[in-house]
Amino acid sequence: MHIIVDDERAFLGMPTPCIYTRNSDHAMATLNRVWINQYLHYGLTLESLWLDHDLGEKDDIRPVVEMLSMWAESKRPLMVATINIHSMNPVGAEWCYTTLNQWYGNVNRIALPECVVV
């Protein structure tokens, strides 16, 4: 499964299943369900998590990154193969990378994949 947190883009050619979340509240709720399933039901590792920093007016990815960090700090990290940060905000992307990279060894800053604005 792939989860994409981005308020305006849809990526072309993403494998399925692929879940889009458009704001931090929806992302946290979705990731929380995945995390609970991983630890209570021995769920499979999430294949990829894609994070955009700026999520529209007065919203950003920070609450999601803080939640992921809290889980990792408590020795229960989200089991995810790859975390991709694709933000066009260089300061926000660097914050995401630095914060998550201390807990997860699979964090990448990447250019935007081919996408369409929805």
From first to last of the 118 residues of the chain, give the pLDDT tens digit.
999 999 988 888 888 889 999 999 999 999 999 999 898 877 778 999 999 999 988 999 999 999 999 999 999 999 999 999 998 899 999 999 999 999 998 999 988 766 655 5
CATH of the domain at 81: 3.40.50.2300
Provide the pLDDT for residue 44. 76
Q: How many domains does the chain have?
A: 1
Residue 46 token pair = 């999430």
Provide the pLDDT for residue 115. 65
Residue 61's φ and ψ, nearest 5 degrees, are -80, -5
Residue 118 token pair = 């929805």
- Per DSSP bridges, beta strands 46-51 and 80-85 are parallel
42 lies in which domain range?
2-117
